[in-house]
Amino acid sequence: MKITLFIDKETVHVISAYAPQVGRSEEEKKSFWDSLDELVRECPPDQRLIIGGDLNGHIGAATDGYAGVHGGFGFGVRNDEGRSILEFTTAHDLVVANSFFKKEMCT
């Protein structure tokens, strides 16, 4: 789902996305990423874009070649779905925002 907000002189596109879970077919995952790609490409590059939701992947703790999009504050080990997130983010010149700040674990 995508909504477009006009705030003062800014245009902000907000996409809510829910990716197929681990274990779903490759065809279903490809269809999701293709649809998300289409939505993102509809947004002019000089306007703001926010993608929120559950992309069902783990980007891992290490940046490992994704320093421009991964801030180094992830958790655990990257899985294939996390790699898809980072590849998509790289392709669209985006960032995984919550990987750019340290999170404290609550006990």
pLDDT over 90 at 99, yes or no: yes
Query: What percent of the chain lies above the pLDDT cut of 90?
Result: 88
pLDDT (0 to 100) of residue 71: 95
Question: Buried b vs exposed e over 2-21: b needs ≥16 C-beta within 10 Å?
Answer: eeeeeeeeeeebebebebbe
Q: Are residues 1 and 52 in the same domain?
A: yes
Q: Are residues 52 and 64 in the same domain?
A: no
Q: What is the pTM of this model?
A: 0.89
Q: Are residues 70 and 48 in the same domain?
A: no
pLDDT over 90 at 18, yes or no: yes
The model's confidence at residue 40, banded by pLDDT at 50, 70 and 90, is: very high
Instruction: Confirm if 77 and 60 have CB atoms less than 8 A apart.
Output: yes
Q: Are residues 29 and 77 in the same domain?
A: no
Q: Are residues 18 and 69 in the same domain?
A: no
45 compared with 106, residue with greater pLDDT: 45
Give the domain extent around 51. Answer: 1-56
Count of domains observed in the chain: 2
